[in-house]
Chain A
């Protein structure tokens, strides 16, 4: 599509460029001008073709004029004329650059249509991705139901299996949120950058909503700042945050003695706006310490490596702090 638009632009340069001397004799002209005139313009007098005034020198002259082709047809053109001078300030030659107003308008409309078409294709792609992710979530639900109904997995393993399926579903949601943001107008269509702060907030809301379905809720406080991140980095980043937060929810809700749990997340952006430090603080009261499960540790290590991010963890009594530099 990008290539199609570029070709369209090159093919549709609607500017007449003509070089002429002090008498008005044309020494060269671009293909578009020759094409519009109908035969070679070289050697013809510019004043018989475009009704510009005769000056000794043109000092960035601009106006609207009429272009007359070899068939005596007339076109309205926006004209700019300027003179190129020698070192001794004498005229070397004049250049006229003119735009066919009607063709330009037609071209602009076609270009707008192509861009709209491109945006519509992009929207459809994101729509299809999100729909396919929904299908995967649904298949996982069907698989879970079938395993339960047919008692395919013994009762003790069923909870683990259910947790496993839900973990996957939450990861899918984390990925889909990026596509949701790329589908909206709040991203840069050239760089595919999204606002990381908005993304993290949406992700936290989704995780919180997921657990609050079972009347389980943890207060979270998010102090975000606008920071653009490429979607290629946002997805692994989101998966890391998802695992840290979701596991904390599970830790709080699976153990009866955990109380007073809350989450604080702060974003610090460096001065050059090249990296962001995310500090995730988790507070709770319990005899146990919250630690990331081994499988999450492995996943997070791989994702950090993928996007060349770093993470430090500080587990203390009643508080776990994750500091990630993206």
Chain B
């Protein structure tokens, strides 16, 4: 596994979900490298200030939602891996022109999310 520091932006408006995933991500990537936001607006500010390597986002959120956030980010960077974690099925949203690396449907276990992050960052993982 590459040792380079990875910066992750995690966007989720549900407190319990955000907290538990933050714990998992910070344990793996370090507390200084995981940034959390509760809506798209906060997330976009963090994205501009922290330049994360990967974004993990929910869709249904107050203010700017996940789809709008992806659009804002894609206007600045076409290549940054983005993972959607939503309780809605993939076909509900029009992601045309807003490519994402992985779409995970909630509920998701921490292993599944970590595996998806590693796959998006480094390609298919050896099992």
User: A interface vs B, CB < 8 Å?
Assistant: 123, 126-128, 130-131, 133-139, 141-142, 145, 166, 169-170, 172-173, 176, 180, 183-185, 209-210, 212-215, 217
Chain A residue, CB-CB nearest to B59: A127
Q: How far, in Å, is B119 (CB) from chain A's closest CB?
A: 11
Contacting pair A142 B107 (CB below 8 A): no
Q: How far, in Å, is B13 (CB) from chain A's closest CB?
A: 10
A-side contacts of B21, CB under 8 Å: 138
Chain A residue, CB-CB nearest to B88: A127
B-side contacts of A185, CB under 8 Å: 91
B-side contacts of A128, CB under 8 Å: 87
Q: With contacts A131-B106, A172-B107, A173-B107 known, is A141 near B24, CB below 8 A?
A: yes
A139, B19: Cα distance in complex, Å = 9
Contacting pair A169 B109 (CB below 8 A): yes
Q: How many residues of B contact A (CB 8 A)?
A: 26
Contacting pair B87 A134 (CB below 8 A): yes
Contacting pair B107 A176 (CB below 8 A): yes
Q: Which of A135, A173, A180, A184 contacts B17 (CB 8 A)?
A: A135
Contacting pair A141 B110 (CB below 8 A): yes
Q: How far, in Å, is B85 (CB) from chain A's closest CB?
A: 8
Q: With contacts A135-B14, A176-B107, A210-B111 known, is A184 near B20, CB below 8 A?
A: no
What's the A-B contact tally at a CB cutoff of 8 Å?
Answer: 79
Which among B19, B20, B24, B111 has the greatest number of chain A C-beta atoms within 10 A?
B20
Contacting pair A131 B105 (CB below 8 A): no
A79, B106: Cα distance in complex, Å = 53
Q: Which of A123, A139, A217 contacts B92 (CB 8 A)?
A: A123
A180, B16: Cα distance in complex, Å = 21
A58, B6: Cα distance in complex, Å = 81
Q: With contacts A130-B107, A131-B106, A173-B107 known, is A210 near B112, CB below 8 A?
A: yes
23 contacts between A and B (CB under 8 A): A127-B88, A130-B107, A131-B106, A133-B106, A134-B87, A134-B106, A136-B107, A137-B107, A138-B17, A138-B21, A141-B20, A141-B110, A142-B20, A142-B23, A145-B20, A169-B109, A176-B106, A176-B107, A184-B89, A184-B91, A209-B112, A210-B109, A213-B114
Chain B residue, CB-CB nearest to A177: B105
B-side contacts of A142, CB under 8 Å: 16, 19-20, 23
Q: With contacts A142-B20, A142-B23, A213-B115 known, is A183 near B107, CB below 8 A?
A: no
